[in-house]
């Protein structure tokens, strides 16, 4: 029975590692993609039972050409190669302020959506992605006036009017 159990554990580990690796997208080198990509890639890198050589090679294969150039010199001879992998990428793509600036620009570049389902879906999806990226770097989105204003100014006028009416009602209720 122990042999079956050990084999079953190795098989489960194999499938867990494959699933975690499949979840990692290819990182293109865009700063705004890095926090989310790193989060998923680190989930894979923290798996127990997967050799560091396997992890390093698999993670390198999840990079496009430019990011890959930064880490190509890392080898499995370095016992901390996976840690160094993330350190090198962090220096180039993980500067929090650059991520904040890129997300603000991304929001400002959005066109104001028409009141059509496809436009609204795409608009809300982009806003959700930007906010999620900012939260990945622990940016205080709820108190960032620039982000809030950028989103507010992109809303269709009917939504802005409804938002302001709701705020005024809440303010009035608090004063009563």
Contact 56, 19 (CB under 8 A): no
User: What pLDDT, on the 0 to 100 scale, is given for residue 83?
Assistant: 94
Helix and strand numbers (H, E) in the chain are 9, 0
User: What pLDDT, on the 0 to 100 scale, is given for residue 8?
Assistant: 59
Residue 87, number of CB atoms within 10 A of its CB: 12
pLDDT at 7 over 60: no
User: What pLDDT, on the 0 to 100 scale, is given for residue 152?
Assistant: 92
Instruction: Report the predicted TM-score, pTM, of the whole model to 2 decimal places.
Output: 0.69
Residue 39, number of CB atoms within 10 A of its CB: 14
* Cα(74)–Cα(56) distance, integer angstroms: 8
CA 64 to chain centre: 16
Nearest to 39 by CA among 54, 27, 51: 27
Confidence of residue 69 (pLDDT cuts 50, 70, 90): very high
Mean pLDDT, rounded, of the chain: 89
């Amino acid at each position: 029975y122990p042999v079956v159990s050990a084999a079953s554990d190795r098989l489960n580990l194999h499938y867990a590692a494959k699933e975690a690796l499949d979840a990692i997208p290819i990182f293109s080198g865009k700063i705004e993609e890095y926090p989310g990509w790193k989060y998923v890639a680190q989930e894979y890198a923290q798996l127990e039972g997967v050799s560091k050589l396997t992890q390093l090679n698999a993670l390198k294969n999840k990079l496009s050409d430019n990011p890959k150039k930064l880490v190509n010199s890392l080898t499995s001879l370095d016992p901390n190669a996976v840690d160094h992998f993330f350190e090198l990428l962090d220096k180039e793509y993980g500067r929090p302020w650059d991520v904040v600036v890129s997300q603000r620009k991304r929001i400002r570049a959005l066109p104001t959506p028409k009141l059509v389902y496809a436009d609204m879906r795409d608009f809300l999806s982009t806003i959700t992605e930007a906010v999620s990226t900012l939260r990945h770097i622990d940016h205080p989105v709820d108190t960032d006036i620039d982000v809030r204003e950028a989103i507010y100014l992109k809303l269709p006028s009917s939504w802005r009017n409804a938002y302001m009416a709701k705020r005024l009602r809440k303010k009035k209720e608090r004063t009563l």
